[in-house]
Amino acid sequence: LKHLQDLIEKGIASFCQELPSQPENLYSPVSYTLSLGGKRIRPLLALLSNEMFGGNPVEALPAALAIEVFHNFTLLHDDIMDNAPLRRNKESVHAKWNSNVAILSGDAMLVKSYELLSKIKSPILSQILPVFNKAALEVCEGQQYDMAYEQGDFISIKEYLNMIELKTAVLLAASLEIGARIANANPANAQHVYEFGKNIGIAFQLQDDLLDAFGKQEKVGKRIGGDIVSNKKTFLLLKAFELANASQKIAIKSLLSSQQINPENKIKEMLSIFNDLSIRELTEEKMNYFFDQGLGNMQKIKLGDERKTNLISIAKSLMVREN
Ligand code: IPE
Ligand code: IPE
Ligand code: MG
Ligand code: MG
Ligand code: MG
């Protein structure tokens, strides 16, 4: 694992070094964001999948980096959309500079991600480009649902799951499929590893939602309670409303609609309802369900079990992460 992580960090570092210096407010937010770390889970999944199918990680690296740069681009825009002041324990780009800077640096990162991806040689490139494009567009679709749901009424758990599949899970899935295809995995196996990623990715976003409510700011690196403040229709909220008794339902509705209440109180009161209804445990149950689905997809991959252990253990560790 360490050798793959080193490969990724070195790749990110040299990507940052090669960025032009001018205009400074276009490029310095790019290296700022990428240098703040992050788990690098998507490039790691891409390289692990590549390795599992017998590929050479050095060949897959540009694609893995492309995905990480794309992911970081989405974070710049997401933090504007979510009004999030903090990312990786530092000011988010729009907070440190301004929204125009975050929009434009994000745009540049999107282009850069395609530049990286296009380092992969044909005929593989023509296989992975549609995978990347589909995931990238679906992320936009998911983000649009996420924003629309903030404003609207409650949605079904099914609608929520579709939203997080789009905004988050498909990019993890595509990372795995792209890594697999660069290793010349056969189409059936590439599809199984994609489905594995989708299920793991859904569990990953459920955990992200949990951490947003129950995590420690120093570890998560984001402002805790942001989802509650902005009325995000998370699994936590939807489940709570589903299980709430009459008076809890009234309390939840009034927290969602109140213009006056200060954010700290809103977070505190919502968390206390979540706690009363064991929402944390119920969310973890749901995560486990999707994790198990993912394991099922993994079992369908026609490779020896010993080849699969790295990916499975990474996926396991994601389910208990604190950041
Ligand atoms: C955050 O992604 C956005 C989501 C899709 C949940 P990560 O949790 O992978 O963030 P970093 O890259 O590790 O900071
Ligand atoms: C982010 O979901 C999904 C994308 C960035 C596409 P969130 O809005 O929950 O991610 P965080 O919590 O800000 O990292
Ligand atoms: Mg968001
Ligand atoms: Mg966000
Ligand atoms: Mg979140």
| CA 41 to ligand 1: nearest atom | 9
Q: How confident is the model at residue 170 (pLDDT cuts 50, 70, 90)?
A: very high
CA of 83, nearest ligand number: 4
- CA 136 – CA 70 distance, rounded (Å): 8
Q: How confident is the model at residue 168 (pLDDT cuts 50, 70, 90)?
A: very high
DSSP assignment, residue 234?
-
Mean pLDDT, residues 122-135: 98
Residue 118's pLDDT is what? Answer: 98
Residue 184's pLDDT is what? Answer: 98
Residue 173's pLDDT is what? Answer: 99
Residue 114's pLDDT is what? Answer: 98
Cβ of residue 143 lying under 6 Å from some atom of ligand 2: yes
CA dist list (Å): 37 to 9, 34, 119, 223, 247: 9, 6, 24, 17, 44
Residue 307's pLDDT is what? Answer: 97
**Cβ pair 183, 301 in contact under 8 A:** no
Cβ of residue 41 lying under 6 Å from some atom of ligand 1: yes
Cβ of residue 207 lying under 6 Å from some atom of ligand 2: no
Mean pLDDT, residues 271-295: 98
- CA 18 – CA 60 distance, rounded (Å): 20
Mean pLDDT, residues 307-320: 97
User: What spacing in Å lies between the alpha carbon of 74 and ligand 3's midpoint?
Assistant: 9
Which residues make Cβ contacts (< 8 Å) with residue 279, sequence separation at least 6?
236, 239, 240
| Residue 245 amino acid letter | N
CA of 146, nearest ligand number: 3
Ligand 1 atom 14 nearest Cα: 38
90 φ/ψ angles, rounded to the nearest 5 degrees: -130, 165
Q: How confident is the model at residue 137 (pLDDT cuts 50, 70, 90)?
A: very high
3-state secondary structure of 106: helix
Cβ of residue 212 lying under 6 Å from some atom of ligand 2: yes
Cβ of residue 74 lying under 6 Å from some atom of ligand 2: yes
Q: How confident is the model at residue 235 (pLDDT cuts 50, 70, 90)?
A: very high
Cβ of residue 168 lying under 6 Å from some atom of ligand 1: yes
Tens-place pLDDT, residues 88-124: 999 999 999 999 999 999 999 999 999 999 999 999 9
Residue 175's pLDDT is what? Answer: 99
Tens-place pLDDT, residues 39-77: 999 999 999 999 999 999 999 999 999 999 999 999 999
**What angle (nearest 5°) sits at the alpha carbon of residue 88, between those of residues 82 and 89?**
100
Query: What DSSP string describes 6-63?
Result: HHHHHHHHHHHHTS--SSHHHHHHHHHHHHT----HHHHHHHHHHHHTT--HHHHHHH
Mutate which of 12, 33, 168, 207 for ligand 1? The one with the most ligand atoms within 8 Å of its CB, which is 168
Over the range 65-75, which residues count as b (16 or more CB within 10 Å of their CB) and which as e?
bbbbbbbbbbb
Q: How confident is the model at residue 179 (pLDDT cuts 50, 70, 90)?
A: very high
Tokens of 35: 């240098």
Cβ of residue 208 lying under 6 Å from some atom of ligand 1: yes
DSSP assignment, residue 225?
T
- CA 315 – CA 311 distance, rounded (Å): 6
91 φ/ψ angles, rounded to the nearest 5 degrees: -55, 135
